[in-house]
C-alpha cells in the first residue's frame, strides 16, 4: 500500500468507526493499518471529532486506559429528530391503517431499513447510560427496531419466543397476562441466550397495556437479570396506567376512531426536552 493522504485516511477511519458503533478501536489498529504514528492518528481523531460535531453526525469519544481507544456513538441530530418523528406520525395517521381492536398497521415502517435504523438510534441514545449487556424483544414485529437498537449500542439482541423451538435448546418458559386481551400467554427464552447478572434492555414496537413488557420483566427475573429499561416505538395514551411504570415510547397514539378512520399520533414529550 502506498502512502495514504490524510483526507483519504480520515475517510476510511470514519467508515470503520461508523460501521461499528460503540466499539472501542485501539489507536494501534489504525496506526498499523495506515503505517503512521499514533500521534498522527490522534490528530486525525481530533479532526473527525470536530467534523462529527459540526455536522451533527454523531459523537466521537476517546476512552483512556490500557484497553482504551476511540469509539463512535450514533447521537441523533436533535434538530432532525422531531421532524422525522412527525413524519412517521403523519404516515401512521393515514386513512386505512386502523386494524381491529384499535391497533394501527405499522409493518411498513418497522421494516423500512432507513427509518428503523433512526428509531433504534433514538432509543439507544436514550438508554446508553444504562449500559445494557443485551437488547431483548418478543417475536416478531419488535425484532427490527430491537436489532437497530442493539447495533447502535454494540450489544447482542436476543428474542423471547411465543413457542419454544428445538433449535433453541433448553428454555425457560413463563405465563403472563396480556393487558389488551386479558388472556394468559406464554413466552420462552433459551438458557444459553443470556447470563445471570447481566442487564437487559427491553425493546418492542407497540405497547397498549404493558402486559408483554411486564412478561419480559418476569422472564428476565427468572435469569436473575436486571432490567436496564423499557423502550417502545409507539405506546397508547389509553390506558394511561400501564402494567409497567418506567418506560419510554417515541410516539404516543392519542386516539383511534374505527368509525371515522381517524388516527391521532404525536411525538412523545421527552423528545422535546
Bridge pairing between strands 171-177 and 134-138:
unpaired
The 8-class DSSP code of residue 245 comes to: S
- Structural domains present in the chain: 6-73 (1.10.10.10), 78-272 (3.40.50.2020)
Residue with cell 383511534: 256
| Backbone CA torsion sign across 93, 98, 103, 105 | negative
Give me the DSSP letters along 194-239.
--TT-EEEEEEEEESSSHHHHHHHHHHHTTT-EEEEEEEEEEESSS
Instruction: List alpha helices for the chain, DSSP H.
Output: 6-19, 27-34, 38-54, 78-92, 107-110, 113-127, 143-153, 211-221
Q: pLDDT per residue over 255-268, tens digit each?
A: 988 888 889 999 99
Q: pLDDT per residue over 154-191, tens digit each?
A: 999 999 998 877 788 999 999 998 877 778 999 999 99
53's grid cell? 460535531
Q: pLDDT per residue over 87-126, tens digit each?
A: 999 999 988 888 887 789 999 999 999 999 999 999 999 9
pLDDT at 66 over 90: no
pTM of the complete model: 0.93
Contact between 92 and 107 (Cβ < 8 Å): no
Amino acid at each position: 500500500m502506498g502512502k495514504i493522504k490524510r483526507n483519504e485516511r480520515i475517510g476510511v477511519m470514519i467508515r470503520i468507526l461508523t460501521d461499528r458503533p460503540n466499539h472501542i478501536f485501539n489507536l494501534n489498529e489504525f496506526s498499523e493499518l495506515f503505517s503512521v504514528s499514533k500521534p498522527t492518528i490522534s490528530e486525525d481523531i481530533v479532526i473527525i471529532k470536530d467534523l462529527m460535531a459540526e455536522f451533527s453526525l454523531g459523537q466521537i469519544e476517546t476512552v483512556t486506559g490500557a484497553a482504551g481507544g476511540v469509539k463512535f456513538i450514533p447521537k441523533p441530530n436533535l434538530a432532525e429528530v422531531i421532524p422525522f418523528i412527525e413524519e412517521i406520525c403523519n404516515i401512521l395517521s393515514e386513512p386505512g391503517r386502523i386494524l381491529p381492536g384499535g391497533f394501527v398497521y405499522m409493518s411498513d415502517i418497522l421494516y423500512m431499513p432507513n427509518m428503523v435504523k433512526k428509531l433504534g438510534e433514538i432509543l439507544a441514545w436514550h438508554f446508553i447510560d444504562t449500559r445494557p449487556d443485551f437488547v431483548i424483544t418478543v417475536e416478531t414485529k419488535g425484532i427490527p427496531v430491537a436489532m437497530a437498537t442493539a447495533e447502535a449500542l454494540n450489544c447482542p439482541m436476543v428474542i423471547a419466543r411465543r413457542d419454544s423451538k428445538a433449535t433453541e435448546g433448553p428454555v425457560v418458559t413463563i405465563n403472563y397476562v396480556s393487558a389488551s386481551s386479558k388472556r394468559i400467554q406464554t413466552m420462552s427464552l433459551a438458557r444459553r441466550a443470556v447470563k445471570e447478572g447481566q442487564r437487559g434492555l427491553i425493546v418492542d414496537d407497540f405497547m397498549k397495556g404493558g402486559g408483554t413488557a411486564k412478561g419480559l420483566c418476569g422472564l428476565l427475573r427468572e435469569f436473575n437479570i436486571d432490567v436496564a429499561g423499557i423502550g417502545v416505538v409507539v405506546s397508547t395514551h389509553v390506558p394511561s396506567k400501564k402494567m409497567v411504570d418506567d418506560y419510554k415510547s417515541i410516539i404516543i397514539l392519542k386516539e383511534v376512531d374505527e368509525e371515522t378512520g381517524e388516527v391521532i399520533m404525536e411525538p412523545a414529550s421527552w423528545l422535546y426536552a
